[in-house]
Amino acid sequence: MGATRIEFRLRTAIMLSIIVLGFLSPWLWETGDRIPLYAWLALTLNRLGLISFGAAAPLTIGLATLFAAIAVIFRIWGTAYLGPAIVQHGQMRAGALLVGGPYRYVRNPLYIGLWSMTVALVFLMPLTGALFVLIAVPFFLMRLICGEEAFLTGQLGEPYQEYLRAVPRLLPRLRSTLPPSGVKPHWLRAALFEITPIGVFSALAFFSWSYNSRLMAKVILISFGLSLLMRAFAPSETQATEAAS
In CATH, what number is assigned to the domain containing residue 133?
1.20.120
Residue 142 in domain:
yes
Q: Give the tens place of pLDDT for each residue, 93-143.
A: 766 677 889 999 999 999 999 999 999 999 999 999 999 999 999 999 999
Model confidence, pTM: 0.90
Q: How far apart are CA 148 and CA 154, in angstroms?
A: 10
Residue 205 in domain:
yes
Residue 207 in domain:
yes
Residue 81 in domain:
yes
Residue 245 in domain:
no
Q: Give the tens place of pLDDT for each residue, 25-49.
A: 998 876 767 899 999 999 999 999 9
Q: Characterize 132-161 residue by residue with b for buried, 16 or more Cβ atoms within 10 angstroms of its Cβ, and e for exposed.
A: bbbebbeebbbbbbebbbebbeeebeeebe
Residue 239 in domain:
no
Q: How many domains does the chain have?
A: 1
- The DSSP secondary structure of 11-23, one letter per residue, reads HHHHHHHHHHHHH
Domain extent, residue 226, equals 5-27+35-234
Residue 206 in domain:
yes
Residue 242 in domain:
no
